[in-house]
Amino acid sequence: MATATTPARPPLPPFTRDSAIQKVRLAEDGWNSRDPGKVALAYTIDSRWRNRSEFINGRSEIIAFLARKWAKELDYRLIKEMWTFTGNRIAVRFAYEWHDDSDHWYRSYGNENWEFNDEGLMASRYASINDLRISEADRKYHWGVGRRPDDHPGLSELGL
């Protein structure tokens, strides 16, 4: 049950198509904030992750992981798209663009499987991700820092 320190995070399972799409967009918005503490609040205290080959357990490790990630992946911009859902699970595909400290640009592609508790907090996240080096001219994400604008195309519209 949600507590004063861990409030529920609607939409709650079981998901409908619309609520799953909303949950995915809220996750995208959170990650585009690049605020590790804010992002970590969407996960259970004991959330379990596999991100690439790294295994992460609990909010404190999530915060440390995200701080390291965004210190390395500069000018990070992310788009997520719901792939499928059922009950308390959602599968997404995503792509994000970033550059390293040598100004080499990348587009990272991946899939995530999410499982939520009854309060809408993510209890587990399994991510598979591949990086593709791109030229700056090949970038497709050009909005300012933060939330992707509503009129910006999604992955399908961009042909990704």
pLDDT at 134: 98
pLDDT at 73: 98
> What 3 state SS string does the chain have?
CCCCCCCCCCCCCCCCHHHHHHHHHHHHHHHHHCCHHHHHCCEEEEEEEEECCEEEECHHHHHHHHHHHHHHCEEEEEEEEEEEEECCEEEEEEEEEEECCCCCEEEEEEEEEEEECCCCCEEEEEEEEEEEEECHHHCCCCCCCCCCCCCCCCHHHHCC
Domain map of the chain by residue range?
A: 17-140+153-158
Residue-level pLDDT, tens digit, the chain, 160 residues: 555 567 899 999 999 999 999 999 999 999 999 999 999 999 999 999 999 999 999 999 999 999 999 999 999 999 999 999 999 999 999 999 999 999 999 999 999 999 999 999 999 999 999 999 999 999 999 999 999 999 999 999 999 9
pLDDT at 16: 98
Domain 17-140+153-158 falls in which CATH fold? Nuclear Transport Factor 2; Chain: A, (3.10.450)
